[in-house]
Amino acid sequence: MHRLAAAMLVSLLCCFLFIATLKAQQQPQPAASDNTASPPSCIPHERDALLAFKHAVTSDPAGLLTSWRRDGGHGEQDCCRWRGVRCSNRTGHVHELRLRNTREEAAAMEGKISPSLLALDHLEHLDLSWNDLTGPSGRLPEFLGSLKNLSYLNLSSIPFYGGLPPQFGNLSRMQYLDLSNSNFRGDTNSTDLSWLTRLSSIQYLNLDLVNLSTVVDWHHVMNMLPSLRVLHLSDCSLASANQSLPHLNLTNLEELDASWNSFDHPMVTSWFWNITSLRYLYLHATSMYGQFPDALGDMTSLQVLDLSYNYNNDEKYRIMTTDLKNLCNLEVLNLDWALLYGDIAELFRNKLPRCSPNKLQELDLNWNQLTGMLPRWIGQLTSLVILNLGRNNITGSLPISVGQLTGL
């Protein structure tokens, strides 16, 4: 009996110990979920850097930085919880600053970008777009080129003077660089883009509206960026695109926007016609004349092709000679004011994509000099949503098959 009691006591004790051990093992569990609920709070010297950044912002009408406060009072001491600040949930280092002004122009922050940002040496993502932060110098700060870990930099719509800082070429991890729409002051100039060639991981480059009128070798620079997927050079005052390239590196390029540049040379002499990976090609208002290149017919990845408003002062009308029949991915074809003349039935029959299923959703032939009658089979373009044939000289009645275009 005594023995039995002792044995029971021992097993009870064991049981208790076991449960206690289990409990102890479970201990880290709640601690871990606490961790995900509140990741490590921010690093003091990084908080100081952010406060110095705020100090250099002289006006913040939208209150983007209102939550950035040192005191524990109304503000939040943990800078990782400040608006627009994202920290690594592992190390507490600031990884992202998302300070885009998403409101109207009057909501832009004003002031300058404090060099204190350099203390954030783990920063990967910096978005200051639509703010007015170039200070009295009006220039883009060169020191941003020392934020080595940046892979995303968005300074879009920040008005600045002068050139693009070559120091940005030190940002070797850069993947998304957006310096577009910054020319409000009409005084940007960049003569040398060779620093770009050091951004060997860049996928997205947007220089819309940056004045590149004196950069003659821009094609060569871009061709040194084989990882590029998206390239925007709209309204850059580029002088021409008729350079020749011995070897095409841009085999990943999916989107090219070169619209609003006055190239003023024959269309066929442009260097980009054999980038067959292109899905989006925007060449609106580039003052290129002459025939469309035959190579266009082999750009079978194209989904959007915009050749509208292409004419130069001589206003030579052209007949469509390029066969687009194999462009089976084409969804948008914009030939608005492309100075086309000739028989529209012939254009539909022999030049436009005739694929099954047909993906063409938007066809704009507005303001050309096309003549003749619409073909009966137009009803086979079953995906059409927008069809613009205005300001031509088309005759005859509307084919009955148009009634099949239920999405029109």
Between 166 and 379, CB nearer to ligand NAG = 166
Question: What amino acid is encoded at 292 in this protein?
Answer: F
Q: What are 199's two structure tokens?
A: 């951004």
Choosing from 92, 111, 145, 353, the residue that interacts with ligand NAG (CB under 6 A) is 145
| Residue closest to ligand NAG when measured from CB atoms | 248
Near ligand NAG in 195-254, by CB under 6 A: 195, 204, 211, 213-214, 223-224, 226, 237, 240, 242, 246-249
Spatial distance between the Cα atoms of 202 and 219, rounded to a whole number of angstroms: 16
Contact 16, 23 (CB under 8 A): no
| # residues contacting ligand NAG (CB under 6 A) | 51
Best CA proximity match to 135, nearest among 102, 107, 109 = 109
The terminus-to-terminus CA distance of the chain in angstroms comes to 95
Choosing from 176, 291, 298, 401, the residue that interacts with ligand NAG (CB under 6 A) is 176
Beta bridge partners of 206: 178, 232
Between 139 and 359, CB nearer to ligand NAG = 139
Q: Is 151 in the site for ligand NAG (CB under 6 A)?
A: no
**Measured CA distances, 401 to 49, 383, 393, 397 (Å):** 67, 13, 20, 11
Q: Give the other-Cβ count within 10 Å of 377's Cβ.
A: 13
Site string for ligand NAG, 265-294 (x = CB under 6 A): x---x----x--------------------
Best CA proximity match to 381, nearest among 342, 408, 345, 346 = 408
Q: Is 348 in the site for ligand NAG (CB under 6 A)?
A: no
Q: What phi-psi label fits residue 406: left (phi over 0), alpha (psi between -120 and 50 degrees) or beta?
A: alpha
Query: What is the closest distance, in whole angstroms, from the C-beta atom of residue 365 to ligand NAG in the complex?
Result: 13
**Measured CA distances, 279 to 24, 44, 227, 275 (Å):** 58, 47, 15, 10
Choosing from 21, 137, 321, 369, the residue that interacts with ligand NAG (CB under 6 A) is 369
Near ligand NAG in 74-113, by CB under 6 A: 89-90, 100
Q: Is 189 in the site for ligand NAG (CB under 6 A)?
A: yes
The contact set with ligand NAG (CB under 6 A) reads 36, 89-90, 100, 121-122, 129-130, 145-146, 148-149, 154, 156-157, 161-163, 166-167, 169-170, 176, 178, 186-187, 189, 191, 195, 204, 211, 213-214, 223-224, 226, 237, 240, 242, 246-249, 263-265, 269, 274, 295, 369, 393
